[in-house]
Structure 1
C-alpha cells in the first residue's frame, strides 16, 4: 500500500516523496486508513517504498504481500493522471462499500490492477458492489495474466463485452508504461486457439480518460474469416482423441448429448457451427444449439423474442460455463446460430419471426453427413464481424 495516516490524521502518499524523504518519515507512526492498525514503512533497495501492516490482520481493504508490479502499476496510473490533469485518489477508501480501489478517477472510475489470483466469488462481489453504488469499475490485468495462446478461467472472470468490440480485456504493462486492450477475442469450440486484435496506448502520449472510454466510442469495421470444413474435421479429431483419453470435460458433454438422444459421433455437423465459441465458456455450446433447434422444430414458426425468452427461462438448466451468461451474450449466441441455419436454408427470418423450412435430423448417418459436408465446402467460410449484431 502506498497511502498511510499519521497519528494526527495526516494522509501520506509515498508517491510524493523521494527515497531520502521516505527514510526520514520512518521515525513517525503510521496507521492503516481502513482498519486503523499500525503500519510499517518499508523502504528497501528492491521494492519501492510502501506500507505494510505491522501485525497479521483481517483488513477488509488490503492483503499482505503486495508485489513490486502492483505498486508500480498504481504509481503508473497515478502519474498518468497527474500528467493529464485528472483528479484522482490513490487507494481511496469507500466506507459505504468497505472497499478500496487501487486508484479512483474523478470520483467515479474505480481502477483495479489485478496481479494475483482472485476467486470468482470475490471478484463478482467487488464488481457488483462498485456498480450498485454508481461506480464504473475497470479491471486491468498484470503480466502474470497476459493473454497468450489460450483463454484461461482467470481470463473469463475479467472479460467484458459490447457490440463495438465484441469480447475484450484490459492489460496494464508496467514495463512499457502502457495499457493494452485485447478485443474481438474469439476461441474455437474444442480447439485451444484464441484469436484477438489489440490496441496499445502509452503514458504521456494518450489521454487516460480517452483510453478507458474507448470501448464505448470505438468505430471499427472488422471481419475475421474461418474455413468451416477444415475446422470441423479438426474438431472431430480432437473430440475422438479426448473421448479415448476419457477427458472429464468431453465425457461431461457427451453425457449431456445422450440426454437429448444423440452423441458426438452421430450429431449433425451443423450443430458444430459456428466454429467460434460465442460464450467463451468451458463447454462448446452443442447442448444449447440442440435445445434451441428442438424449440424451433416443435413450433415450426416462432417469434425471435419468444424463442430468446424460452432460452433465458431455461438458461440455468443449459450447461455452458461455470460463470453466469448475460442476456446480451445469449442474444449474440442465438443470432450467430440462426445465421448458420439461414445460411444452410433450414430456416427463414421475417419481421421478427423464425420459420422452419425443412426438418433437421439431430442424429445423422454417414452418407447424409458426407452430403452435408459437400454443402459446407460450397459455403466454406464463417465471417465474424465488428460491430457485433444481436
Structure 2
C-alpha cells in the first residue's frame, strides 16, 4: 500500500524523506496495526503489513504494476483539475478505494489480479450504496487473456455510442486500451480496440465522442463465420463437451439435432449482445423449441412474457456494472420475435402471436453445412 499513518496523520510512502526510519512508527489506516516502509532502487516505495497480519482493507502481495497504476491515475486526475486521493478507506463498507475523487464521488478501481464475480459485485454495490460511481480499469494480465462472457459480466459498462465496453491500462507500456462495441458473433466475442495515452483522453472519449472504428460489425458476418460456429458445435458434440450438452439434450427430447437448428436461430447477423451465460444461439434454439415444438398454434402475451422470464432465468447473466441490465434481454427477445414475424413464422394478434408456419430443421451436420455453403440466401 502507498498510504500509512504517523501521529494520526496520513503520509505517502514516497514522501518519507527521513533517512533513519527505524524509529518511525507507521500505522495502517484501516486495521491500525504497525506497517513497514519498504523502498529500494528498483521498487516503488510502499508500506507492508508485518507477517501474519490480517487486514480487510489492504491486501498484501500487491504488484508493482498495481502500485504504479494508482500513482499514475492520481497524477493524471490531478492534472485534469480534480481533487484526488488514493487508498481511501471507507470503514462503513470495509473497503478501500484505489483512487477517489471526493468532490465528484467517483471511484477508480485498478484491478490487476483475478477477482470473483461475487466479490466485484459486492464491492460495486457497496460503492453505489455510499452514492459513489465506480469504474473498473483492468491491468495487463487481464488484457493478455482471451475475453470471456464472464469478464464482460463483471467489468463491462454500457454507453449508447460505444455499446458494451471495458477499459484496460498497461502500467509497463503506460498505455490505455478501450475495447468497445463488444458483441457475440457466431458464438465468439468480437470488439473494436482503441488506444489512448492518458486517463483524460479515454474518459473524454467514453463520455462524448465515441466513434466506430474499422472493426468487425454484426452486419459484416458471412458464411465463413457460420461454418466455423457449426464446426465448433459438431466438434463439441463429438468430444462430448459440456458446452452445448444442455441444449443438445433439450433438442433430443423433441427429436431434433441441436447442430441442425433452423437458420433463423443464427439470424441475419449471427449474433447479438454479449449477455448470455451460454451463446445467444442456445437461447434462441430454446425459444424456438418452446414456441414451435410444443403443439401450440397461438401464444398469448402472458405466455410470451412467461417465456421471456424463463429464458432470462435460464440463460441470462447479471451485468455488475450495468444498471437495469434486464432491458438488454428485452431488446434481444423483442428483436427475435419480430424476426420470426418478418420471416413469416408468426403473426401478431391483439392477444399475442399466431403460428403461421414452423422453421425448418436440418437432419444432419453435413446437410446444414452444404446449405450454408451453397444457398443463394441464408435466411
Cα distance in 2 for partners of 1:370, 1:47 equals 57
Match of 1:33 among 25, 29, 45: 29
Farther-moved stretch of structure 1 (364-373 vs 54-63): 364-373
Superimposed CA distance per residue, residues 345-370 of structure 1 (whole angstroms, 9 cap, x where no aligned partner): 434679x9975573223644479969
Q: Does the CA-based 8 Å contact 2:277-2:315 persist in structure 1? A: no
Cα distance in 2 for partners of 1:112, 1:52 equals 20
Match of 1:199 among 182, 194, 204: 194
Map of 1:258 onto structure 2: 252
Cα distance in 2 for partners of 1:22, 1:146 equals 39
What value does the CA root-mean-square deviation take over the aligned residues? Answer: 3.5
TM-score, scaled relative to structure 1: 0.80
**Matched residue SS, 1:318:** helix
Which ranges in structure 1 are unaligned for 5 or more consecutive residues? 381-390
C-alpha change, 1:292 and 1:353, in structure 2 (3 Å) is: farther
C-alpha change, 1:338 and 1:127, in structure 2 (3 Å) is: same
Cα distance in 2 for partners of 1:157, 1:371 equals 39
Q: Does the CA-based 8 Å contact 1:300-1:355 persist in structure 2? A: yes
Alignment coverage as a number of residue pairs: 367
Deviation at 1:45, TM superposition (A): 2.3
Map of 2:169 onto structure 1: 172
Map of 1:384 onto structure 2: none
Farther-moved stretch of structure 1 (52-61 vs 67-76): 52-61
Map of 1:57 onto structure 2: 53
C-alpha change, 1:316 and 1:342, in structure 2 (3 Å) is: closer
Match of 2:98 among 84, 102, 112: 102
Superimposed CA distance per residue, residues 245-272 of structure 1 (whole angstroms, 9 cap, x where no aligned partner): 1112132331243355533143222213
Deviation at 1:166, TM superposition (A): 1.5
Describe how 1:63-74 pairs up with structure 2 within 5 A. Answer: 63-74=59-70
Q: Does the CA-based 8 Å contact 1:167-1:184 persist in structure 2? A: yes
Deviation at 1:162, TM superposition (A): 3.7
Q: Does the CA-based 8 Å contact 1:38-1:55 persist in structure 2? A: no
2:126 is the alignment partner of 1:129 = yes
Deviation at 1:287, TM superposition (A): 4.0
Match of 2:80 among 80, 84, 91: 84
Q: Does the CA-based 8 Å contact 1:312-1:327 persist in structure 2? A: no
Map of 1:276 onto structure 2: 271
**Matched residue SS, 1:102:** strand
Cα distance in 1 for partners of 2:144, 2:275 equals 14
**Matched residue SS, 2:51:** coil
Map of 2:4 onto structure 1: 4
Q: Does the CA-based 8 Å contact 1:229-1:376 persist in structure 2? A: no
Map of 1:247 onto structure 2: 241
Map of 1:231 onto structure 2: 225
**Matched residue SS, 1:262:** coil
Farther-moved stretch of structure 1 (272-281 vs 230-239): 272-281
Map of 2:280 onto structure 1: 285
TM-score, scaled relative to structure 2: 0.82
Match of 2:160 among 160, 163, 171: 163
C-alpha change, 1:344 and 1:373, in structure 2 (3 Å) is: farther
**Matched residue SS, 2:93:** coil
Q: Does the CA-based 8 Å contact 1:2-1:91 persist in structure 2? A: yes
C-alpha change, 1:83 and 1:323, in structure 2 (3 Å) is: closer
Farther-moved stretch of structure 1 (331-340 vs 240-249): 331-340
C-alpha change, 1:97 and 1:147, in structure 2 (3 Å) is: same
Q: Does the CA-based 8 Å contact 1:90-1:102 persist in structure 2? A: yes
C-alpha change, 1:50 and 1:152, in structure 2 (3 Å) is: farther
Q: Does the CA-based 8 Å contact 2:2-2:46 persist in structure 1? A: yes
Deviation at 1:279, TM superposition (A): 3.0
Deviation at 1:125, TM superposition (A): 0.7
C-alpha change, 1:214 and 1:220, in structure 2 (3 Å) is: same
Q: Does the CA-based 8 Å contact 2:153-2:317 persist in structure 1? A: no
Q: Does the CA-based 8 Å contact 1:284-1:320 persist in structure 2? A: no
Q: Does the CA-based 8 Å contact 1:308-1:331 persist in structure 2? A: no
Cα distance in 1 for partners of 2:53, 2:308 equals 43
Cα distance in 2 for partners of 1:216, 1:334 equals 28
